[in-house]
């Protein structure tokens, strides 16, 4: 019988999650080109920032103090993010969480990812509307 999956418990678990998630994203041509700025030398630094972010979200550690929204608005400016990108991102994220973990923190991670993705898309629409005025 397969071993029961545990919940996300600490930074080490988050690191595992982030790496497995990016392994999926970076192997999909529909997504990989969006990550050209962080591929290669910058990937480890990016993973560290993502671990800070998810530790702050799940365990309220408070060490992530950067501007996530601004990064994605500028990514949209550069590449044009669409609902397809967000749906793929979320599908891969949920799939990765479920493949490794189960429990309350895992559920919370998926909920937060979803609500942040909704807000990002709202902000993107607002920015596009402003650009047309
Ligand atoms: C279409 C969907 C998404 C794409 C293509 C995407 C892509 C990226 C890329 C390329 C970066 C690196 C930006 C840079 O450093 O220049 C990044 C950073 C980041 N993303 Fe996303 N992202 C997406 C959705 C999300 C969502 C829904 C979340 C929230 C859970 C999220 C959380 C983050 C965080 C925390 C960072 C680090 C920002 C920083 O440097 O402080 N992303 N993303």
Q: Decide: 88 in ligand 1 pocket, CB within 6 A.
A: no
Residue 3 domain-assigned? no
**Nearest residue to 50 via CA among 38, 32, 36:** 38
User: What's the gap between Cα 85 and its chain centre?
Assistant: 12
Do residues 56 and 64 make contact, with C-beta atoms less than 8 angstroms apart?
yes
Q: Is 39 in the pocket of ligand 1 (CB under 6 A)?
A: no
The answer as to whether 6 is a domain residue is no
Does any ligand 1 atom lie closer than 6 A to the CB of residue 81?
Answer: yes
Please count the structural domains in the chain. 1
- Whole-number Å distance, alpha carbon 68 to ligand 1 midpoint, is 7
Tokens of 27: 């192997």
pLDDT value at residue 133:
75
**Token output for 124:** 């993107």
Q: Which CATH number covers residue 41?
A: 1.10.490.10
CA of 55 relative to ligand 1 center, distance in Å: 15
Domain range enclosing 98: 11-132
Q: Does residue 2 form part of some domain?
A: no
Q: Stretch 52-75: mean pLDDT, rounded?
A: 96
Residue 27 placed within a domain = yes
Best residue for ligand 1 mutational test, from 65, 75, 82, 108 (most atoms within 8 Å of Cβ):
75
Tell whether 44 is covered by a domain. yes
Give pLDDT tens digits for 22-58.
999 999 999 999 999 998 889 999 999 999 999 999 9
C-alpha distance from residue 129 to each of 70, 116, 117, 125, 132 (Å): 17, 20, 18, 6, 5
Neighbouring C-beta atoms of residue 41, cutoff 10 Å? 7
One-letter-per-residue 3-state SS of 25-78 = HCCCHHHHHHHCCCCHHHHHHHHHHHHHHHHHHHHCCCCCCCCHHHHHHHHHHH
Closest atom of ligand 1 relative to the 85 alpha carbon: 1
- The answer to whether position 1 is within a domain reads no
Q: The pTM is what?
A: 0.96
pLDDT at site 3: 78
At residue 21, the pLDDT reads 98
Residue 38 in any domain: the answer is yes
Is the pLDDT at 1 greater than 90? The verdict is no
Q: Give residue-wise pLDDT tens across range 74-112.
A: 999 999 999 999 999 999 999 999 999 999 999 999 999
Total H helices, total E strands in the chain: 6, 0
């Amino acid at each position: 019988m397969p071993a029961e999956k545990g919940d996300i418990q600490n930074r080490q678990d988050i690191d595992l999650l982030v790496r497995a998630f990016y392994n999926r994203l970076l192997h999909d041509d529909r997504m990989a080109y969006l990550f050209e700025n962080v591929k290669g030398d910058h990937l480890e630094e990016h993973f560290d920032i993502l671990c800070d972010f998810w530790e702050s979200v799940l365990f309220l550690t408070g060490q992530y103090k950067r501007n996530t929204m601004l990064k994605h608005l500028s990514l949209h400016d550069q590449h044009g993010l669409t609902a397809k990108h967000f749906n793929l991102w979320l599908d891969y994220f949920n799939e990765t969480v479920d493949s490794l973990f189960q429990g309350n923190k895992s559920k919370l991670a998926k909920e937060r990812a979803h609500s942040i993705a909704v807000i990002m898309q709202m902000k993107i629409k607002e920015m596009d509307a402003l650009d047309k005025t």
